[in-house]
Amino acid sequence: MIDELRDMNLKAKVGGAFKLTTLIQKRLVALNKGAQPLVNLPGASNLEIAVAEIKQDKIYLSMKDELHTVEEDDLRDMVDFDTM
């Protein structure tokens, strides 16, 4: 698992080592509080789950360094706030 964190492609995907650390930390907090994993990895640690979610483009940081999931964005796109 540690070798995956050294992968330069993974760091580049999220914008560098510090953003990768931030994204992993925020996702670990969410998973530890009971958030459902977005990948199916039976027996995996929360760290392994978070890294797999990043690799599969399931989670990302917003411009304000807030954690977002692809599923949240899909739901927002389906809701027409103009009709509410």
pLDDT at residue 72 in the model: 62
The Cα–Cα gap between 42 and 60 comes to: 22
Domain spanning 2-83: which CATH class is it, in words? alpha beta
Could you tell me the pTM of the whole model? 0.76
The Cα–Cα gap between 43 and 74 comes to: 28
Query: How many C-beta atoms surround the C-beta of residue 78 within 10 A?
Result: 7
Q: Indicate the domain borders of the chain.
A: 2-83
Q: Quick one: tokens of 28?
A: 């670990």
Per-residue confidence in pLDDT tens, the chain, 84 aa: 567 878 889 899 999 999 999 999 999 999 999 999 999 999 999 999 999 999 999 999 887 778 888 776 554 554 444 443
